[in-house]
Structure 1
Amino acid sequence: MNVAFDQWIPVVDPAGKRELASLSSVLAEGEKYADLAVRPHERVALMRLFLCIAHAALDGPKNYDEWCEVPKKLPGAARKYLEEWKDSFELFHPTKPWLQVAELFGDKTSPVALLDFELATGNNSTLFDHDGLREHRNIEPYRLALNLITFLNFSPGGGSPVAQWKTTKTNQVGNPDAPCLSQSMAHCLLRGKSVAETIYLNLPTYEMLGEAYKRFEITKEDEYEYSHIAFGRPVWEDFPLTPDYGQDGVINASRTYLGRLVPISRWIRFVHDSDRMYCCNGFKYDTYKDGFAAEPTAAVRVVTSKDKKGNELKERRVVKADPTKALWRELTALFVKRTAEGLGGAFAMQNAPYDKEFDFHICAITRDQASMDIALESVFHISPMFQANVANYQEEVQLAERHSRKLGWAIETYRREIDGGWEGRLKGAGASKGELKIKLFSIATIHFWTTVEKNLQLLFSHIDAIGTDDAIPTRDVWRKMLFAAACDAYRVACGQETSRQIKAFAKGLQKLTSTKDEPEDTNETKEEVV
């Protein structure tokens, strides 16, 4: 199978019909397809592959003027490039299989189903996949290609099978995450009316990359020293010949922009005409925690926290996906341009069309103790009015979160009144005090945020109405809904069956309806939008 010219990429046409397309067709005839028909992590992996090929085919775009010419030049350039490198895109090539190590061997093989996070293999449950009980599982080559590119971007660290490349034998434990999974980061993409427009909107210029895609090192408190990262070449153009980290091929694969877009984070070799493969840990990819630039689709913000003595601590972190926090609450942290200091959102934000509407697509998959956890995905339809009033949106999101914190304050007040041992439990919990409070608040906060998210259109209606006569009325409707949702959640969580409960309920309600904010937690972490 040749992944450049054979069909393997799931897409949908403008009528909503699902079909498979080749890499060549997607890059040269992308206007025929409305969107990709894939899961969130697969979308990110495919987009990185598309962007890598587009950059290599165009040798750019170097600046804004060249970027404007991409829709005209990319189709012909992509066809020519893929034809030139056609031999390097053979999935089962005997000496240079696509994104695989031809000389990889081991004592044992692994099932190719291991590459698909939703199939029952290893630690994955058989709840929705009873075929995992079969001795042999037939996976079509088109699916193998998609699973391979996704696994190389998102495979979790921890334990891994053991294999050997030349004289290097890998370890079974202690392996790092693939670059796109690290810290459960959220990945941001702009979505156009076709796959061709989506690729165009997400393609950064080399000028932009040179300004903001840099390594960094903390030299003093809050002082950073930056160094340039080479653009490099796609990994199939300079595939490492040995596993030695000092060679140019490994440096290109793990420490350059183009090399990292299609990572070799795991060493893999398919055993042709079987459902088995050799698979083990691959090259290490430094992440933002290691001082490398954040991934092109990720976002970075400043996080302020306080230690036990109340001293303020600041550090930079990628914006991560959290199953307990819906992505609309993180929208303003993601919807910003990346600065020369590496702070801000995805590089695609530089291409956002501020004079017309577009879709902002957020994809993520969370990790839990070296395992894949939950895939998250949200699409926000962004209007020019929203872009002009992002600060107002953030203010209303913060208001909703203040209601949530006051709700927790009220519930804790209620608990103290009816449970004389609550304070002792908090002291006994020590560092786990926060987790204990989360359990206490869970019923109410789930009820509150579910109600808010059902009425989220009220917030977007208010943002779109700013500057008109409807701005104040729509704001009042949104804010009244927040208060009513908090009161309703409080009633759901706190009973009023006895006189003691009624008294405690009244005291908690006073906190909830107070104009004062809840007392500040000395260990509270605050995140700044830049």
Structure 2
Amino acid sequence: MTEPTEPRFNLVDEPWLPVIDAGGRQTEVSVRDAFRRSGELRRLVGDLPTQAFAHLRLLLAVLHRAVEGPADADHWAEVRDGWDATLARVDAYLDAVHDRFWLRHPTHPFLQVPDLRTAKDEVFGLSRIVCDGPGTSTFMTTRLGDNLETASWPEAARWLVHAHAFDVSGIHSGAVDDPRVSSGKGFGIGTGWAGQIGGVHLHGATLRETLLLNLIAPDEVGLLGGEDDLPAWERAPLGAAPEGWPAEVADVKSLTYRQPTGPVDLYTWPTRRIRLFGDDERCTGVVNAQGDRATPHNRFDVEPMTSWRYSPVQTKARGAHTYMPAKHDPERAFWRGLSALIPGMSEPAGAGLPSRRRSPAVIEWAVYLRRHGLLGAEQIDVQAVGIEYGSNESVYAELVADTLTLPTALLTEDGRPLADVAVLAVDCAEKAVFALGSLAQNVALAAGGASDDDGPRDRASAEAYDALDREFRRWVTSLRPGVEPAERRAVWQRAALGVVQTIARDVIAAAGPAALVGRTSGGQFRDVGIAERWFRKKLREVLPHAFEQAPTTAEQATTTEEVA
């Protein structure tokens, strides 16, 4: 391994960002070319969706700083409509910060500490930052099975950015000059910042549209920002200690971490202290130590790309109303959290308490653009990206990546009745699936199954949600201006009824003679007939409009066309 005596591999100029071009081919572009070609490029990609999410946030930080805003709707429209002038400002900005984007540099390598080392001068394998390295992940990526001993410098750059955003928690290398190190170890400060949230962003037909849709004006959606909201490359070069800390201190507990200043700051938050090793051709090793800690409590004023949930536990512990990021549940489809996406749809957390959920500021921004006549599209794609960690967040467990296409009418005041119908559709579907799960469980108990075996319930519910997922995604796009909300509600409830009834018939058909005879369990007699009657009664309660007079054959054909 050789250390650079002069700068090598500048991310502004060298291709390293994976993208899909207009022809559907995957290629790599530099930061500068990502902007210059943004109108023809379809989207960012990566070895994992989380990698593309981290790269998007980096590009947004560049764009925010280049345009010095936007400040409001007029400024945003100026950025969009005068895109050639915007590109000129981006070029000028990248020229100004060019020296901070050298991946290999003797004094200030990009998002790294040039002299970072352990007391034993250890250098570790790239599995310390590559998401699918042995012992850290079960993900299947293009890297799995390859030799993790080396990586190209473009690949190393991608995993460097990803590590700051999504690295696991737990013990890391103890860096010399980090006052937090004890017995040669850097004890956990949490995952990378993006790993602490349930990532949500808007997606357009091109990279340019995606950048613009997520280019928020902080003041207009209740976020902090301004001149002190700086990315990592405009702050002082990183050292081993957290920013603002001395290398030696008598009592570490007496020091506090700096607070995020705004979205741009969090888009490039340096959760780790990293140093890449290698030669002119390949990256061959890494040191990955603890960096700056950012706690998630009430960060809705600086982080726009997540929903928030009211936390009674944290509220009690902190003595003030507290919201935490609403992380994605790998077992729960994105559409089932619709009420947390649409502004103003969440119920209070309790009597006299604030809303149970807060919508992502990036969705609030879409509402703002729509209100000002700047969002003309009839539909918008909302993407969810996140990671579920396991074992005290020290390993990667599950990846979450989902996209939901929503009619923009749901984001307007005039579209509130349609939004109500959409949110109610999720609620009644979940209640119908619960009834189906109870049917499956009761039939299993009638056949002699164990009362603590949730397998029948879980299998029936999973099958139902899988079928409802396809139905809901088609149906929700039919909620366009001019449609009758009550009619759309009935269409959905009939679709949901059809799904659960089909699965219920399979459950009953497979019940067997023992379930037909029935038995007493927990002091209650159950057989298939009793279970089925309860199920049908429950469906009439939770899907009442599905049992109203069905439309004629011609009406059904029209409905099918609308939903499709």
Q: Shorter-chain TM-score category?
A: 0.7 to 0.9
- What do the CA deviations read for 1:275-317 (whole angstroms, capped 9, x no partner)? 111111211112137x674632001144689xxxxxxxx9644
1:467 counterpart letter in structure 2 = E
Partner of 1:319: 326
Deviation at 1:79, TM superposition (A): 0.6
In the alignment, the residues of structure 2 paired with residue 343 and residue 468 of structure 1 have an alpha-carbon distance, to the nearest angstrom, of 25
In the alignment, the residues of structure 2 paired with residue 360 and residue 125 of structure 1 have an alpha-carbon distance, to the nearest angstrom, of 26
Identify which of 388, 405, 430 aligns with 1:366.
388
- What do the CA deviations read for 1:235-260 (whole angstroms, capped 9, x no partner)? 11113554555729999975222322
Identify which of 476, 491, 495 aligns with 1:478.
495
Superposed CA RMSD: 3.6
Deviation at 1:230, TM superposition (A): 7.9
Give the secondary-structure state (helix, strand or coil) at the position aligned to 2:385: strand
Partner of 1:255: 260
1:256 counterpart letter in structure 2 = T
Partner of 1:267: 273
Partner of 1:432: none
Q: Which runs of 5+ in 2 are unaligned?
A: 1-8, 247-254, 314-320, 347-353, 520-525, 543-564
Partner of 1:191: 203
Give the secondary-structure state (helix, strand or coil) at the position aligned to 1:239: coil
- What do the CA deviations read for 1:112-157 (whole angstroms, capped 9, x no partner)? 2432212x333445987897685x6331111111111111001121
Deviation at 1:486, TM superposition (A): 5.0
Aligned: 1:344 with 2:356: no
Aligned: 1:23 with 2:47: no
The answer to whether the Cα contact below 8 Å between 2:447 and 2:515 also exists between their aligned partners in 1 is no
In the alignment, the residues of structure 2 paired with residue 127 and residue 355 of structure 1 have an alpha-carbon distance, to the nearest angstrom, of 38
In the alignment, the residues of structure 1 paired with residue 475 and residue 435 of structure 2 have an alpha-carbon distance, to the nearest angstrom, of 20
Give the secondary-structure state (helix, strand or coil) at the position aligned to 1:49: helix
The answer to whether the Cα contact below 8 Å between 2:11 and 2:30 also exists between their aligned partners in 1 is yes
Distance 1:157 1:517, change over 3 A: farther
Identity over aligned pairs, percent: 18
Partner of 1:6: 14
Q: Please give the residue correspondences for 1:125-524 in structure 2 after superposition, counting only pairs within 5 Å.
A: 137-165=149-177, 169=181, 171-182=185-196, 185-208=197-220, 211-213=222-224, 231-240=228-237, 242-243=239-240, 245=242, 247=244, 254-257=259-262, 258-273=264-279, 274-288=283-297, 293=301, 295-302=303-310, 316-336=323-343, 343-351=358-366, 353=370, 355-357=376-378, 358-369=380-391, 370=393, 371-387=395-411, 388=415, 389-419=418-448, 422=451, 437=454, 439-457=455-473, 459-460=475-476, 463-464=479-480, 466-467=483-484, 471=488, 474-475=491-492, 477-485=494-502, 487-488=504-505, 490-491=507-508, 494-497=511-514, 499-501=516-518, 504-515=527-538
Identify which of 128, 146, 149 aligns with 1:114.
128
The answer to whether the Cα contact below 8 Å between 1:254 and 1:283 also exists between their aligned partners in 2 is no
The answer to whether the Cα contact below 8 Å between 1:407 and 1:490 also exists between their aligned partners in 2 is no
In the alignment, the residues of structure 2 paired with residue 158 and residue 133 of structure 1 have an alpha-carbon distance, to the nearest angstrom, of 25
2:268 counterpart letter in structure 1 = V
Deviation at 1:33, TM superposition (A): 0.9
In the alignment, the residues of structure 1 paired with residue 176 and residue 510 of structure 2 have an alpha-carbon distance, to the nearest angstrom, of 57
Moved more, 411-420 or 358-367: 411-420
The answer to whether the Cα contact below 8 Å between 1:233 and 1:252 also exists between their aligned partners in 2 is no
Distance 1:304 1:329, change over 3 A: farther
Partner of 1:33: 41
Moved more, 95-104 or 257-266: 257-266
Aligned: 1:44 with 2:44: no
Deviation at 1:471, TM superposition (A): 3.9
- What do the CA deviations read for 1:463-497 (whole angstroms, capped 9, x no partner)? 34832896477345424324424524643774445
Deviation at 1:332, TM superposition (A): 3.2
The answer to whether the Cα contact below 8 Å between 2:203 and 2:383 also exists between their aligned partners in 1 is yes
Deviation at 1:323, TM superposition (A): 1.6
Deviation at 1:385, TM superposition (A): 4.4
Identify which of 57, 62, 70 aligns with 2:66.
57
In the alignment, the residues of structure 1 paired with residue 487 and residue 238 of structure 2 have an alpha-carbon distance, to the nearest angstrom, of 65
The answer to whether the Cα contact below 8 Å between 1:404 and 1:486 also exists between their aligned partners in 2 is no
Moved more, 367-376 or 81-90: 367-376
Deviation at 1:13, TM superposition (A): 1.6
Deviation at 1:61, TM superposition (A): 1.3
1:372 counterpart letter in structure 2 = Y
The answer to whether the Cα contact below 8 Å between 2:18 and 2:29 also exists between their aligned partners in 1 is yes
The answer to whether the Cα contact below 8 Å between 1:41 and 1:363 also exists between their aligned partners in 2 is yes
In the alignment, the residues of structure 2 paired with residue 160 and residue 413 of structure 1 have an alpha-carbon distance, to the nearest angstrom, of 49
In the alignment, the residues of structure 2 paired with residue 264 and residue 363 of structure 1 have an alpha-carbon distance, to the nearest angstrom, of 20
In the alignment, the residues of structure 2 paired with residue 128 and residue 205 of structure 1 have an alpha-carbon distance, to the nearest angstrom, of 35
Calculate the TM-score normalised by the size of structure 1.
0.79
1:404 counterpart letter in structure 2 = V
Distance 1:475 1:400, change over 3 A: closer
In the alignment, the residues of structure 1 paired with residue 508 and residue 515 of structure 2 have an alpha-carbon distance, to the nearest angstrom, of 14
The answer to whether the Cα contact below 8 Å between 1:414 and 1:507 also exists between their aligned partners in 2 is no
In the alignment, the residues of structure 2 paired with residue 321 and residue 441 of structure 1 have an alpha-carbon distance, to the nearest angstrom, of 22
Distance 1:187 1:457, change over 3 A: closer
Partner of 1:224: none
1:196 counterpart letter in structure 2 = R
Give the secondary-structure state (helix, strand or coil) at the position aligned to 1:463: coil
1:441 counterpart letter in structure 2 = R
Deviation at 1:52, TM superposition (A): 1.0
The answer to whether the Cα contact below 8 Å between 2:103 and 2:109 also exists between their aligned partners in 1 is yes
The answer to whether the Cα contact below 8 Å between 2:307 and 2:325 also exists between their aligned partners in 1 is yes
In the alignment, the residues of structure 2 paired with residue 420 and residue 149 of structure 1 have an alpha-carbon distance, to the nearest angstrom, of 51
- What do the CA deviations read for 1:14-51 (whole angstroms, capped 9, x no partner)? 22122111111112331121211223211221111111
Give the secondary-structure state (helix, strand or coil) at the position aligned to 1:407: helix
The answer to whether the Cα contact below 8 Å between 2:112 and 2:274 also exists between their aligned partners in 1 is yes
Give the secondary-structure state (helix, strand or coil) at the position aligned to 1:10: strand
Q: Report how many residues are paired.
A: 478
Distance 1:332 1:344, change over 3 A: same
Calculate the TM-score normalised by the size of structure 2.
0.75
Q: Which runs of 5+ in 1 are unaligned?
A: 214-227, 306-313, 426-435, 519-530
